[in-house]
Amino acid sequence: MIRCGLLCSMWLVFGLAAYAHEARPAYLQLKQTSSDSFDLMWKVPAQGDNLRLGLYVQLPDSAEPLTEPHGMFVGGAYVERWQFREPNALIGSTIQIDGLRNTLTDVLVRIERLDGTTQVARLMPESPSLLVTAAPSGWQVVNTYFWIGVEHILLGVDHLLFVLGLLLLVDSTTGLLKTITAFTIAHSITLALSVFSVIHVPEAPLNCMIALSILFLGPEIVRKWRGESSFTIRHPWIVSFAFGLLHGIGFASGLTLTGLPQRDVPSALLFFNLGVEAGQLAFVAIALLIARSLRTLELDRARWVQRLPAYAVGSLGAFWTIQRVMLMLNP
């Protein structure tokens, strides 16, 4: 069982400082319509109908606007479209996102050409520009979507806090493998179903339910420490699977909010899911390593320090539940 004040303190700071799933990616799509013309779609995260992230597309100086930009708020984002001409079809040109260095947000860029080739890239605050190439590598898609998946799970504080709660409930290696595997299978199922639009759950109630799943684990962990029993304590893998179905729908938002074209969905889904799994396994490995290190050092820790992680799970779960219910009732 993981009982470490250090890990709890890290989550208290990180959890409150980075409200889960607010670092949504922006999306830039450039679709070639003639030898030197493009349709541009720019999608930026927004809150409400009048507040958008201050990110702006900077095209090369040789680009000539053909239409005025037209934008509107829709689905938690600000979407802007316009057309432009560039004599070299952007090949060898640099596209930059102004304001990206001052955020925690990434930008997914997709360039579709008349010959069927596609260039996909992920721009980050430390690298806010893209050099457009004539023959993009197939590894760009693999690399881009994989790291979006890794980033999505590592920035998804609520998802990782739920995984931490599962670790606190399970003592044996076999039980841990069953529980984590059940969570993985469940969220993989609903991730795929959500991306292919088989199921749909509105974002606001979904976020409330995910917060409730974290809150649910807090009392169960305390009950286990008291020597009591419950269905969750006896069969944590079943509870892990059930709540994993909810979390999978939440993972899907990391893919669908970018507005990816349908023909990209299968490959994007595969590598995004692999990235999510890689990030999740890395977190589990680090948590177990910290727990083992503290046991090896045999540090003298007060009982309340040992139990801080469980109370952090329950307290943050309660905080997010109240916060998200209030946001849902007062949009």
Asked which of 115-124, 197-206, 242-251, 253-262 is least confident by mean pLDDT, the reply is 253-262
Q: What DSSP designation does 40 have?
A: E
d(CA 166, CA 172): 12
Which one, of 122, 27, 28, 33, lies nearest residue 86 by Cα? 33
Tell me how far the alpha carbon of residue 245 is from its chain's centroid.
16
> Which pLDDT band, with edges at 50, 70 and 90, does 16 fall under?
very low
pTM: 0.70
Q: Give the helix ranges, DSSP H, for the chain.
A: 5-17, 139-155, 157-169, 173-195, 203-225, 231-234, 236-256, 265-297, 303-306, 308-329
pLDDT of residue 18: 41
pLDDT greater than 50 at residue 2: no
Instruction: List beta partners, residue 95.
Output: 130
pLDDT greater than 80 at residue 287: yes
pLDDT per residue over 257-283, tens digit each?
A: 655 555 667 777 888 889 989 999 999
Share of the chain above pLDDT 70, in %: 84
One-letter identity of residue 135: A
Mean pLDDT of 172-200: 90
Mean pLDDT of 86-111: 91
pLDDT greater than 80 at residue 5: no
> Which pLDDT band, with edges at 50, 70 and 90, does 224 fall under?
confident
pLDDT of residue 98: 95
**The tokens 């079809």 sit on which residue?**
89
pLDDT of residue 120: 82
Q: Across the chain, how many H-helices and E-strands are there?
A: 10, 11
pLDDT of residue 79: 94
d(CA 159, CA 153): 7
**Half-sphere exposure at residue 206, Cβ-oriented, CA atoms within 13 angstroms:** 20
pLDDT of residue 25: 82
pLDDT greater than 70 at residue 254: no
d(CA 184, CA 172): 18
Which one, of 159, 208, 194, 157, lies nearest residue 331 by Cα? 208
pLDDT of residue 36: 92
pLDDT greater than 50 at residue 140: yes
pLDDT of residue 9: 39
Q: 269: which 2 tokens?
A: 């889904």
Instruction: List beta partners, residue 107.
Output: 26, 123
Contact 266, 145 (CB under 8 A): no
pLDDT greater than 60 at residue 95: yes
Which one, of 78, 91, 90, lies nearest residue 39 by Cα? 90
pLDDT of residue 103: 86
Q: What DSSP designation does 34 have?
A: S
How many angstroms separate the Cα of 88 from the Cα of each of 93, 94, 134, 170? 8, 12, 10, 59
Task: Look over the chain and give the mean of its residue pLDDT values, rounded to a whole number.
Answer: 83
Contact 99, 54 (CB under 8 A): yes
> Which pLDDT band, with edges at 50, 70 and 90, does 4 fall under?
very low
Which one, of 327, 276, 305, lies nearest residue 4 by Cα? 305
pLDDT of residue 106: 87
d(CA 129, CA 95): 6
pLDDT of residue 266: 79
CATH number for 26-138 (one of 2.60.40, 3.30.9, 2.70.98, 1.10.10): it is 2.60.40
H or E, element range at 84: strand 77-85
pLDDT of residue 8: 44
pLDDT per residue over 195-214, tens digit each?
A: 888 988 888 888 899 999 99
Query: How, if at all, do strands 77-85 and 70-74 pair?
Result: antiparallel
Query: So where are the chain's domains?
Result: 5-21+156-329, 26-138
